[in-house]
């Protein structure tokens, strides 16, 4: 029995960790925005201009790159694999090196079009801007990243003398070339830390002292701007002996939005799941999944248990939606709007344990949501806890066609059955 309990506890902690990880929302900004930010910190980046129309493309080529024979045209979406992606109009590749007189034509095939990559899913993402960059003569490519490491309890710098491909591929091909340098969050980065990183990068032509300063500037940006990830791939050396952040990805901690207003003003909602954007505005915790049973629950632990038991009965959850412990009636209405906006949802399971969250508030929200939203799918409701009798009475008197359940197991079984009809 003890062994079984240990297994169950271990599994629960594992599942909790996965869901906690998925709940974290981290701001992701476009490449051109990251380059502009790094430039402000004195970090070497290629000269570039972001444009959103063909007229802007013409003007940028004429004013910013009058003497350039070739330029790099990069589609701007919040997903990796752009270079190997394909547009839904048939045009291949989201990154091209072209002659200056071809820039307008190539940019025209990208702007306003949907680019599908290995990270976007089949639906792809729309390209609202392209980034025109100078073409650098690179003599060496390396990998550099700073992330937050739970084991090190602070920032961790990862570096590799090989770059230009994914860190997963690098770790597989060159595991001995990857170095990790933990940084004491209280002391900050030291000259010795930065030197270890540079030695791991093993630059061939860039000045060692200049490279150390670049590493320190990158760390300063990471800390001052509340980054959760700063990844440069490749960190390159040019023929002019300069270390340059040729392509970078920056993520920021959403919990720091209150002190990073300038950064969070860069958020591009057009690149995000519209349901998650709506949920964030309503102060709801929502993550879209691929199942057919929409879940509305209060509390992350109860939400995980609900999804687990749906799977146990043969169904799949369509989302993670936690209305929290003090949701208002209006938030419950918004939650229903989000759930019903998903065409894949075949049934909705409301599972509320009233503690701080009162069952009558949830019940009133369900009734009002039904008045505002055309509920075309069956709704299974399980209420328990504070004001449960009032909540059940509100639902009964509403005249709504609801499927009630006595406990979680009963609710999940009925939701799976309803979704399969």
Q: Please tell me whether 366 is known to bind a ligand.
A: no
Regarding whether 316 and 205 lie in a shared domain, the answer is no
Q: How many CB atoms lie within 10 A of CB 138?
A: 14
Q: Is residue 26 part of a domain?
A: no
CATH number at residue 60: 3.30.1490.20
- Using only C-alpha atoms, what is the Rg of the chain? 26
Which of 116, 134, 152 is the endpoint of a domain?
A: 134
Residue 37 lies in a domain: no
How many CB atoms neighbour CB 228 within 10 A?
A: 19
DSSP per-residue letters across 358-392: -HHHHHHHHHHHHHHS---S-EEEEEEETTHHHHH
Same domain, 125 and 192: no
Q: Give catalytic residues, as residue numbers.
A: 143, 231
- Residue 120 has what pLDDT? 86
Instruction: List the domain range (segments joined by +) for residue 62.
Output: 47-134
Give me the DSSP letters along 282-302: TT-EEEE-SSSEEEEESSHHH
355 marked as part of a ligand binding site:
yes
pLDDT of 25: 54
The Cα 208–Cα 61 span in angstroms is 34
- Give which of 155, 162, 205 is closest to 182, Cα–Cα: 155
Say yes or no: 303 and 394 in one domain.
yes
Domain end point (choices 117, 134, 151): 134
Task: State yes or no: pLDDT of 17 exceeds 50.
Answer: no
Please state, in angstroms and rounded to a whole number, the distance separating the CA atoms of residues 5 and 351: 25
> The tokens of 377 are what?
């799918």
Same domain, 234 and 330: no
Q: Tell whether residue 158 is among the known ligand binding residues.
A: no
385 vs 157: CA distance, rounded Å: 48
Q: Are residues 387 and 400 in the same domain?
A: yes
The string of DSSP codes covering 296-339 is EESSHHHHHHHHHHHHHTT--BSEEEE--SS--HHHHHHHHHHH
Q: Is 108 found in the same domain as 164?
A: no
**Has 83 been labeled as part of a binding site?**
yes
- Number of independent structural domains in the chain: 3
Give the residue from 108, 134, 160 where a domain finishes: 134
Q: What are phi and psi of 392, to 5 degrees?
A: -65, -35
34 is in an annotated binding site: no
Q: Which of 34-43, 156-165, 333-342 has the lowest mean pLDDT?
A: 333-342
pTM of the model: 0.74
For 370-419, the pLDDT digits (tens) are 778 777 889 998 988 888 899 889 988 887 888 888 889 999 999 999 99
Residue 22 lies in a domain: no
Same domain, 82 and 219: no
Same domain for 119 and 141, yes or no, is no
- C-alpha distances in Å from residue 6, one per residue of 17, 307, 309: 16, 21, 19
pLDDT, tens digit (0-9, with 9 covering 90-100), for 254-296: 899 999 999 999 988 888 778 888 888 888 888 888 899 999 8
Same domain, 145 and 172: yes
Is residue 355 domain-resident? yes
- Which of 263, 305, 296 lies closest to 408 in space, CA to CA? 305
CATH of the domain at 158: 3.30.470.20
Q: What are phi and psi for residue 129, nearest 5 degrees?
A: -140, 155
Does residue 81 register a pLDDT over 90?
Answer: no
292 vs 349: CA distance, rounded Å:
11
């Amino acid at each position: 029995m003890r062994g079984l309990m240990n297994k169950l506890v271990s599994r629960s902690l594992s599942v909790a960790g996965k869901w906690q990880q998925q709940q974290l929302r981290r701001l992701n900004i476009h490449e051109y925005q990251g380059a502009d930010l790094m430039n402000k910190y004195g970090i070497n980046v290629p000269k570039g201009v972001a444009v959103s129309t063909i007229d802007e493309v013409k003007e940028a080529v004429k004013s910013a790159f009058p003497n350039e024979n070739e330029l790099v045209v990069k589609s701007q979406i919040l997903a990796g694999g752009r270079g190997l992606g394909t547009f839904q109009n048939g045009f291949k590749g989201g990154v091209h090196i072209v002659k200056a007189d071809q820039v307008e034509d190539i940019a025209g095939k990208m702007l306003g079009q949907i680019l599908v990559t290995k990270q976007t899913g089949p639906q792809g993402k729309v390209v609202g801007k392209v980034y025109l960059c100078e073409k650098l003569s690179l003599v060496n490519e390396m990998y550099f990243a700073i992330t937050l490491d739970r084991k090190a309890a602070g920032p961790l710098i990862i570096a590799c003398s090989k770059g230009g491909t994914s860190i997963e591929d690098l770790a597989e091909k060159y595991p001995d070339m990857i170095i990790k340098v933990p940084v004491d969050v209280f002391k900050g980065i030291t000259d010795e830390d930065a030197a270890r990183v540079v030695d791991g990068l093993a630059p061939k032509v860039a000045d060692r002292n200049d490279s150390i300063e670049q590493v320190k500037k990158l760390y300063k940006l990471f800390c001052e701007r509340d980054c959760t990830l700063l990844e440069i791939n490749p960190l390159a050396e040019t023929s002019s002996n300069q270390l340059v952040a040729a392509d970078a990805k920056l993520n920021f901690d959403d919990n720091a939005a209150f002190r990073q207003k300038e950064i969070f003003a860069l958020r591009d909602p057009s690149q995000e799941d519209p349901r998650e954007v709506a949920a964030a505005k309503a102060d709801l915790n929502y993550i879209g999944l691929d199942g057919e049973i929409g879940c509305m629950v209060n509390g992350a632990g109860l939400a995980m248990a609900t999804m687990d038991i749906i799977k146990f009965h043969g169904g799949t959850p369509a989302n993670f939606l936690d209305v929290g412990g003090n949701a208002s009636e209006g938030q419950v209405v918004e939650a229903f709007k989000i759930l019903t906006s998903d065409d894949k949802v075949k049934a909705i399971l409301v599972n509320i344990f009233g503690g701080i969250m009162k069952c009558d508030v949830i019940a009133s929200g369900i009734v009002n949501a039904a008045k505002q939203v055309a509920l075309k799918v069956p709704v299974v409701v399980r209420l328990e806890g504070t004001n449960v009798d009032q909540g059940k009475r509100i639902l009964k008197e509403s005249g709504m066609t609801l499927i009630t359940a006595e406990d979680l197991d009963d609710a999940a079984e009925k939701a799976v059955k309803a979704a399969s009809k």
